[in-house]
A and B are shown apart, each in its own frame.
Chain A
């Protein structure tokens, strides 16, 4: 077995016979194994050290915090709900104002003179929709329009 393979197995805790045979002959791997054993033992030793213990009433404090946080959440929801109700009320009031108040009309209404016909318009008879109603003297020929770019003669 090569050193790297042996060292990988040592770290994985696989101390089979081929590993032990290699260790008997290899100083470098023996030193590696010794270091690993020291480190492993030290890590396990950390597990035996006592850390901080929960102080008396820890569970009660957790429950109190839970209660406080849920109360805060409830208050937040209530505040948000109240604001939504106020906003909806305001929108409804504005809509009611727009619908219920009498319209002031256009800002600039047409002047009476613009509404009443001029003398010339009043004197001319209204154009009839029927051709037979047209006066004989009236020219009904089509207007000279350029066809395909050629001016009519």
Chain B
């Protein structure tokens, strides 16, 4: 997500002007970070249709919170924290409102042959695509804490320090939780393979 040193003078100027309420300057920040926010929202929620609305809400929240940005971390990390919290709330509301994510159960095989996909191995691109599809579905069904941790680490490739900053946790806590999330995900993955 970039460190503090990577913020160029232009970006610092935009941030300071946006903190004074200048919307045009904030618009420049939106243009610079929109792709990153879109990607993060999509990976965290898996909801293609909701990405634009969620991203808009994230930037509006960010504008209102600009005064609280203290330059302690990079703007990208600070913005990611807002995005993760917003997506986290979205996932909680979605899970509360509808049981869209069935737990891994007996019906899994009927839903697109996930167990079949779990058994594929090898460097074949087609099989790799099937595996990615399976992983994406497993991720969608994972507990939301696990999902957030796995997305930030395995997909976004953040460091433990960045994750700790975004999630507001100590590095040790992030390591422990990530370890458990990885093991749970792997257990689900292996369970599907054993069914075959």
Contacts and interface: CB of A to CB of B under 8 A. Distances in A.
Chain A partners chain B: yes
A101 to B, nearest CB: 51
Interface residue SS majority, chain A: helix
Given A53-B35, A58-B55, A62-B30, A40 B60 contact: no
A35 B26 contact: no
Contact of A52 (B51, B157, B185, B189): B51
Interface residues on chain A, size class: 20 to 34
A54 B55 CA distance: 9
B10 to A, nearest CB: 16
A51 B39 CA distance: 6
A62 B29 CA distance: 11
A8 B179 contact: yes
B182 A47 contact: no
B190 A35 contact: yes
Contact of B52 (A35, A47, A58): A58
B152 to A, nearest CB: 11
Given A35-B186, A63-B23, A52 B52 contact: yes
A61 B34 CA distance: 12
A21 interface: no
Contacts of B78: none
A62 to B, nearest CB: 5
B184 to A, nearest CB: 10
Interface string A56-77: 0011111101110100000000
Interface string B16-50: 00000001101110110011001100110000100
A12 B179 contact: yes
B187 to A, nearest CB: 10
A45 interface: yes
Contact of B56 (A32, A34, A47, A65): A65
A39 B191 CA distance: 13
B14 to A, nearest CB: 12
Given A11-B179, A51-B39, A65-B60, A59 B156 contact: no
B59 A62 contact: yes
Contacts of B63: 66
Contacts of B59: 62
A124 B56 CA distance: 96
B31 A39 contact: no
A135 B182 CA distance: 114
A39 B182 CA distance: 9
A46 interface: yes
Contacts of A51: 38-39, 42-43, 48, 51
21 contacts: A8-B179, A32-B186, A34-B121, A35-B189, A36-B186, A38-B131, A39-B135, A40-B154, A42-B134, A42-B135, A46-B155, A52-B42, A54-B35, A58-B55, A59-B34, A60-B27, A63-B26, A63-B27, A66-B63, A67-B23, A69-B60
Given A44-B155, A55-B52, A62-B30, 14 more contacts: A8-B179, A11-B182, A11-B183, A12-B179, A32-B190, A42-B128, A47-B155, A49-B132, A51-B42, A54-B52, A58-B30, A59-B30, A63-B24, A66-B23
Interface of A: 8, 11-12, 32, 34-36, 38-47, 49, 51-55, 58-63, 65-67, 69
